[in-house]
Amino acid sequence: MSFELTIDDEKITYKTYIFAVPIYKKEVAPVRITELKLKRISWAKKCAVIKVIKGLNIRVISFQPETIYQDLIRYAKDNDVKVIKTKDYKILEKMH
């Protein structure tokens, strides 16, 4: 199982694949995003949760490249989406 996240100016696209066959695709415009929550999971992994108005939230965990989290923060700021960073996430930011 693999996942793909694409960030464009107009939308965020999230795709899920099983054996290179797409099984799920979700496109979210910035007006449908209520907040971007950044938190720590496990010992030293970052996680981003894109909370949407209707439907399932998008969880971004262990995506490559590691700059995906900075790209999501920039996208949120450019589109006036609320960004929440937990205390644990802020500690991880200082470490890296």
Listed by start position, the domains of the chain span 2-95
Which CATH number applies to 2-95?
2.30.29.30
User: pTM of the entire structure?
Assistant: 0.89
How many Å apart are CA 15 and CA 91, to the nearest integer? 30
Give the pLDDT band of residue 6 (cuts 50, 70, 90).
very high
Supply the Cα-derived Rg of the chain in whole angstroms: 13
H/E segment holding residue 34: strand 33-41
Note the pLDDT of residue 11. Answer: 95
- Distance between start and end Cα atoms, the chain: 28
In this predicted model, what pLDDT tens digit does every residue of 61-93 receive, in sequence order?
988 888 999 999 999 999 999 999 999 999 988
Above 90 in pLDDT, residue 39?
yes
CB 5 within 8 A of CB 60: yes
Above 80 in pLDDT, residue 51?
yes
